[in-house]
Amino acid sequence: MARKPALSDVRGDLERPRRAPFAVDKDRALDALRRRWGRAHQMDVDGAGWWWALRGDGLKAVSGDGPDALLAAICENYAARPVRLR
């Protein structure tokens, strides 16, 4: 005979820590950015959560408050002045 679910089964599911729905996996996001822009930029996230990219040609660095903002800043900056690698 099949066991009926008990309230303790549901309570256990509710008490499990949940992942924030819009949380960013920093390592995966950096890997994706580096795959596309890694030859032209050095990228990382600082301790305060600010995302930054240093241009490989030494010109102005760009930054953003998340991976999407950083990608937009890189694209805008690159469109205005492409990185010339030495």
Q: What is the pLDDT of residues 39-66, one digit of tens each?
A: 999 999 999 999 999 999 999 899 999 9
Burial of 6 (0-12, 13-18, 19+ CB in 10 A): exposed
Please state the pTM of the whole predicted model.
Answer: 0.72
Q: What is the structure's pLDDT at 85?
A: 78
Fill in the amino acid letter for 6. A
Q: Which tokens in the block code for residue 43?
A: 């990228």
Q: What is the structure's pLDDT at 21?
A: 63
Q: What is the structure's pLDDT at 23?
A: 77
Q: Looking at residues 22-27, what average pLDDT do you find? A: 83
pLDDT at 7 over 80: no
pLDDT at 11 over 60: no
